[in-house]
C-alpha cells in the first residue's frame, strides 16, 4: 500500500490507537497506587482487576474480529470509543472491589474490540493484501502511547486526582477517539470464510492454503513474545537493579526501550518491508535472546545494549502480529482469525507480570535465562515455518 492518499487514514487510526493504549493498557502504571489508596484496597487488587480486563479482551477478540470481517472496522471501532468512555467513567466512580472489577471488565471488553488487532483487521478489510505498510504506520504512531499517555495521566492525576484523570480520558474518547474512528471509510461487503469465494473475487483466499500447523505456530510465537514484552515492561528496572545497576541507571536504561521500538518499526517500514515478513520476524525474535546473552556475560554494563535489542525486536514483532496472518492466510476472514490467534497472547500478557515476578524472586537476574529461552523457542517456531509465495504487495 503505497498510495499517499491512504496516509491520512493511517494517521487518524494511529492517533486513535495512541489514545486507546494510553488510557487503558498504560493507565495502571501511574494510577494503581492512588486508586488503591483512595479505595482502601491493597494494590494487588488493582492489578487483579487489570488482569480480569486482559482476560476479557482475550475472550472477545475473535468475536470483534468476526464483526469487522462482516461489517468493516468503522462501526466496531466507533462502538469501542463509546465503550472506553463508559468504562473509564465507571472507573472514576468506583467505591469498592466489586465496582472496581466491573469497571475494568467493561474496559477489558473495549480493549478486546478496539486495540491493535481490531485496527489491523479494519485496514485489511479496506486494503486487503496491500495493508502491510499501513499496519506498520499505525504501530509507528501508537508506539508513542506511553510517551504521551504517562505524562498526561500524571498531569491529570496531579491536577484532578485519579478519578478526574479517568473522567478526562473518557472525555477524550468521545471528543477525539470517536470522530477519528467515525472517519474510517465504509468497507465493501466481503464473503465470510465459510462462504464460497468466486475465483475472480477481489479478496480471494490463497490458492494453496498453508499447512495446518501454521496457525498453531504463529499463535505460540505471538503468545511467547507478548509474554516477554509484558514481563520486561513490568520488571526491567527491577532486573537491572538485581544485576547490580543503580536505580537511576536502571530507569535511564529502561527508557531506551521505547525509542528502540520506534526505531525497529522504522526499520521495518524502510529496509525490511522489501523482505518476506517471516524473515524480519525471525531477526526480531532473535534480538531478545542475544540481548540476554550480552547481559548475562558482561553484566549491567551491557544493559543499554539489551534494552536496544529487546526494544527493536519487540517493535518489529508487533508489526509481525498483523502481517504474518495476512501473508499466510489472506484477507478474507482475517479479523476473526486474528482474534483467535491472539487470544493466547492476551492470556499470556495477563499473567506475565505475576509469573515473571515469581521467577525473579527465585532466580534474581537469572530469570532472564527463562525469557531468553522463551525467545529462542519462538525463533525455533518461526524457523519451522516456510516463506510462502508472498501475496500482492508483499
- Structural domains present in the chain: 4-182 (1.20.1250.20), 213-384 (1.20.1250.20)
Looking up cell 493507565 gives 27
Other CB atoms within a 10 A radius of the CB of residue 174 amount to 15
| pLDDT attached to residue 140 | 81
| pLDDT attached to residue 190 | 52
User: Three-state SS across 99-151?
Assistant: HHHHHHHHHHHHHHHHCHHHHHHHHHHHHHHHCHHHHHHHHHHHCCHHHHHHH
| pLDDT attached to residue 286 | 94
Q: How confident is the chain (394 residues) per 10-residue block, as mean pLDDT?
A: 67 91 84 90 87 87 83 89 96 94 95 86 79 80 79 89 96 95 77 44 49 86 91 77 73 78 79 78 93 88 89 87 82 78 84 83 86 95 75 42
* Mean per-residue pLDDT of the chain: 83
| pLDDT attached to residue 20 | 93
What is the dihedral angle through the alpha carbons of 154, 159, 163, 165, rounded to the nearest 10 degrees?
A: -50
| pLDDT attached to residue 194 | 46
Per-residue cell: 80: 469501542
Radius of gyration of the chain (CA): 20
How many CA atoms are closer than 13 Å to the CA of 298, on its beta-carbon side? 12
**Dist. CA 116–CA 158, nearest whole Å:** 29
Per-residue cell: 380: 525455533
| pLDDT attached to residue 302 | 86
Element (H, E) at 381: helix 367-384
Number of helices (H), then strands (E), in the chain: 16, 0
**Dist. CA 260–CA 262, nearest whole Å:** 5
Of 205, 203, 188, 182, the closest CA to residue 82 belongs to: 182
Asked if 97 and 45 count as a contact pair (C-beta separation under 8 A), the reply is yes
Contacts of 94 (CB under 8 A, 6+ apart): 39, 100, 103
Contacts of 56 (CB under 8 A, 6+ apart): 105, 108, 109, 111, 112
- Rounded to 10 deg, the angle between the 7-22 and 145-172 helix axes is 80
| pLDDT attached to residue 261 | 83
DSSP conformational letter for 394: -
Asked if 329 and 69 count as a contact pair (C-beta separation under 8 A), the reply is no
Residue 203: phi and psi, rounded to 5, are -125, 45
* 0.85 exceeded by pTM: no
Of 64, 150, 156, the closest CA to residue 108 belongs to: 64
Other CB atoms within a 10 A radius of the CB of residue 294 amount to 17
**Dist. CA 188–CA 198, nearest whole Å:** 16
| pLDDT attached to residue 5 | 61
Per-residue cell: 163: 478519578
Amino acid at each position: 500500500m503505497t498510495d499517499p492518499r491512504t496516509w491520512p487514514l493511517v494517521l487518524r487510526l494511529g492517533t486513535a490507537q495512541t489514545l486507546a493504549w494510553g488510557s487503558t493498557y498504560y493507565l495502571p502504571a501511574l494510577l494503581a497506587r492512588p486508586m488503591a489508596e483512595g479505595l482502601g484496597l491493597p494494590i494487588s487488587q488493582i492489578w487483579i482487576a487489570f488482569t480480569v480486563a486482559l482476560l476479557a479482551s482475550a475472550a472477545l477478540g475473535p468475536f470483534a474480529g468476526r464483526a469487522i470481517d462482516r461489517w468493516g472496522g468503522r462501526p466496531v471501532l466507533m462502538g469501542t470509543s463509546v465503550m472506553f468512555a463508559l468504562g473509564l467513567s465507571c472507573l472514576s466512580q468506583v467505591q469498592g472491589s466489586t465496582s472496581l472489577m466491573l469497571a475494568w471488565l467493561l474496559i477489558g471488553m473495549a480493549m478486546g474490540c478496539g486495540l491493535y488487532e481490531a485496527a489491523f483487521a479494519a485496514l485489511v478489510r479496506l486494503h486487503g493484501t496491500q495493508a502491510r505498510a499501513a499496519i506498520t504506520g499505525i504501530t509507528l504512531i501508537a508506539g508513542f502511547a506511553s510517551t504521551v499517555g504517562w505524562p498526561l495521566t500524571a498531569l491529570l492525576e496531579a491536577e484532578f486526582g485519579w478519578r478526574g484523570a479517568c473522567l478526562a480520558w473518557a472525555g477524550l474518547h468521545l471528543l477525539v477517539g470517536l470522530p477519528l474512528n467515525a472517519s474510517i471509510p465504509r468497507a465493501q461487503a466481503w464473503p465470510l470464510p465459510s462462504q464460497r469465494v468466486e475465483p475472480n473475487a477481489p479478496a480471494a483466499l490463497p490458492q494453496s492454503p498453508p499447512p495446518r500447523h501454521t496457525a498453531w505456530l504463529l499463535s505460540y510465537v505471538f503468545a511467547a513474545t507478548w509474554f516477554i514484552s509484558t514481563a520486561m515492561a513490568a520488571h526491567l528496572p527491577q532486573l537491572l537493579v538485581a544485576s547490580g545497576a543503580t536505580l537511576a541507571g536502571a530507569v535511564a536504561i529502561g527508557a531506551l526501550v521505547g525509542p528502540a521500538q520506534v526505531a525497529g518499526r522504522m526499520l521495518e517500514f524502510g529496509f525490511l518491508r522489501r523482505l518476506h515478513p517471516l524473515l524480519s520476524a525471525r531477526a526480531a525474535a532473535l534480538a531478545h535472546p542475544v540481548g540476554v546473552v550480552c547481559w548475562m556475560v558482561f553484566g549491567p554494563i551491557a544493559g543499554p545494549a539489551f534494552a536496544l535489542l529487546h526494544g527493536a525486536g519487540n517493535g518489529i514483532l508487533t508489526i509481525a502480529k498483523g502481517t504474518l496472518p495476512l501473508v499466510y492466510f489472506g484477507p478474507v476472514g482475517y479479523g476473526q482469525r486474528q482474534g483467535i490467534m491472539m487470544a493466547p497472547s492476551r492470556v499470556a500478557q495477563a499473567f506475565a507480570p505475576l509469573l515473571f515476578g515469581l521467577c525473579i524472586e527465585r532466580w534474581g537476574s537469572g530469570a532472564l535465562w527463562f525469557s531468553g529461552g522463551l525467545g529462542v523457542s519462538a525463533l525455533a517456531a518461526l524457523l519451522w515455518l516456510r516463506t510462502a509465495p508472498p501475496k500482492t504487495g508483499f
